[in-house]
Amino acid sequence: MTDLSKFLLGAKKRQTEPDEWDRTLVSFQSPYRLKDLCLDQSAASTDLVMGTQVGREQYKIRLATNEDRRRSASLLVEKMYHWRGYEASVSERDQYKITLVAYQEDKVVGTLTLGLDTPDGMIVDQLYKAEADSLRAAGRVPCDITRLAVDQDIRSKSVLAALFHLSYIYGHNIHQATDFLIEVNPRHVLFYEKMLGFAAFGGEKVCPRVNAPAVLLRLDLAYADSQILRFGGTGSSVPGVKSIYPYFFSREDELGITQRLLRGN
């Protein structure tokens, strides 16, 4: 049984501890640290895959369900954008956005916002409406990923993998999404292609939200599903795999998380 399975099975015992249960979606340990990790929606590097082993560190992923957590996530986004030389524009929250926040103890170390499709569209429609509309016309259900940031001092593959896997659970398993769309800086396309299987979907444009060039990438969630089934939960035990899918949760753990979220816990 994995550490995450034990966490899920022991949930009832922790229901009296609101910080551990009511606020936390998952809790996990990461045995690896990378040399450089700072991702926002337009900045990443292929150097991120080169890891060095350190002591096991405990992380938690929570929903940004109150103003303090949303503010903490926004501050991290602004910090990482400014560190990369981009402008940060924080949009107002709404019921169609799911913001995940990663913690190491009480420090916010990562965040990702999943935008569900709405009658008014998504953030990516501002630059790439034609591309998003092509998916809708084909009967597909897109979501967009924005405001992705990981503190440069927290270099764990597992943090990024957990944020993406939880966004997959919310988007695909709960809201029946078929595709993730993300705007990234052109020089970092290779990272998303190799690490997660994104593919080019829209040409280069200037993104006014960060005042930087961007291209649109698409991830077919059927591909993500196959990679999770094949590699999820294996960690560093699978040699030669360049993606971060081995650092996703196992399929067993994914189903447990999905059921817990559907029950409203």
Under the banding of pLDDT at 50, 70 and 90, the label for residue 250 is very high
Q: What is the pTM of this model?
A: 0.74
Check residue 190 and give its pLDDT: 95
Burial of residue 37, with CB atoms counted within 10 A of its CB: 0-12 exposed, 13-18 middle, 19 or more buried: buried
Provide the pLDDT confidence category of residue 25 given band limits of 50, 70 and 90: confident
Least confident of 32-41, 102-111, 159-168: 32-41
Higher pLDDT, 95 or 129: 129
Q: Measuring CA to CA, which residue among 125, 122, 155 is closest to residue 44?
A: 155
pLDDT of residue 265: 52
User: What pLDDT score does 153 carry?
Assistant: 66
Percent of the chain whose pLDDT exceeds 70: 67
Burial code (b: 16+ CB inside 10 Å, e: under 16) for 200-232 equals: ebbeeeebebbebebbbbbbebeebbebbeebb
Among 18-32, 140-154, 212-226, the least confident range: 18-32
The pLDDT score that the predictor gives to residue 82 is: 43
pLDDT score for 1: 56
Gap between the Cα atoms of 32 and 79, Å rounded: 24
Q: What is the pLDDT of residue 207?
A: 87
What pLDDT, on a 0 to 100 scale, did the predictor assign at position 107? 83
Domains of the chain in sequence order? 3-262 (3.40.630.30)
